[in-house]
């Protein structure tokens, strides 16, 4: 049963010393240090989570060092609990080894779910209000003027049969075969079963 720490700073100017001192004082023998992590890249956190075993305790200095959102934080701690790994946040006074710590985290989980439901409700209300005002939501129907020109040219090249699907895409600067086929359907071209030739 090990006590493992995780420290993170999000800018180059910040220093890990305060976190490292607190983690060492909390008994951490091994500390994973994340310096200037991106929005999704947290390789040291991934290493720490992989290193942890049943019965270990995962310690952080403060909750905002672990998760970028309440939802993210709850997900990580929930995964730890399922693996029977205790979680401790020094500054926030949370320790899932205690009944109070587990209760605190249950409240966080409820808040994360509430936050998610509020976002869903607001989105639905916004879409409904837009619909009532006659505003269309979603992708526009049909093609832009530029796409219509490409669709006409694609129809000519396709029906000519001198060019492969890939060649037509390249000639007309169409990004994908799926887009080319959408253009052809728009022009009501009868698609033939031909092997990219």
Nearest Cα neighbor of 40 from 76, 67, 13 is 67
Contact (CB, 8 A) for 21 and 75: no
Separation CA 183–CA 148 (nearest Å): 8
10 is catalytic: yes
Which among 10, 50, 98, 176 is annotated as catalytic? 10
Nearest Cα neighbor of 63 from 100, 34, 37, 92 is 92
- Residue 113's CB is within 10 A of a number of other CB atoms, namely 13
DSSP state of 133: T
In sequence order, which residues have a C-beta less than 8 Å from that of residue 193 and are 6 or more positions away?
none
Query: Dihedral through CA 97, CA 28, CA 58, CA 2, nearest 10?
Result: -80
What positions carry a catalytic annotation? 10
């Amino acid at each position: 049963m090990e006590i493992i720490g995780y420290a993170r700073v999000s800018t180059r100017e910040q220093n890990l010393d305060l976190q490292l001192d607190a983690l060492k004082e909390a008994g951490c023998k091994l500390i994973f240090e994340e310096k200037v992590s991106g929005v999704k890249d947290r390789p040291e956190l991934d290493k720490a989570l992989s290193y942890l075993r049943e019965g270990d305790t995962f310690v952080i200095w403060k909750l905002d060092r672990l998760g970028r959102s309440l939802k993210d934080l709850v997900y990580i701690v929930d995964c730890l609990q399922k693996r029977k790994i205790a979680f401790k946040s020094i500054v926030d006074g949370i320790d899932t080894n205690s009944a109070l710590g587990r209760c605190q985290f249950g409240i966080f989980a409820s808040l994360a779910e509430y936050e998610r439901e509020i976002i869903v409700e607001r989105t639905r209300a916004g879409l409904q209000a837009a619909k009532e005002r006659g505003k269309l939501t979603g992708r526009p129907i049909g093609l832009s003027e530029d796409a219509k020109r490409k669709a006409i040219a694609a129809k000519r090249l396709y029906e000519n049969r001198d060019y492969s699907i890939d060649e037509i895409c390249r000639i007309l600067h169409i990004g994908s075969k799926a887009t080319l086929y959408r253009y052809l359907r728009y022009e009501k071209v009868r698609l033939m079963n031909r092997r990219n030739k």
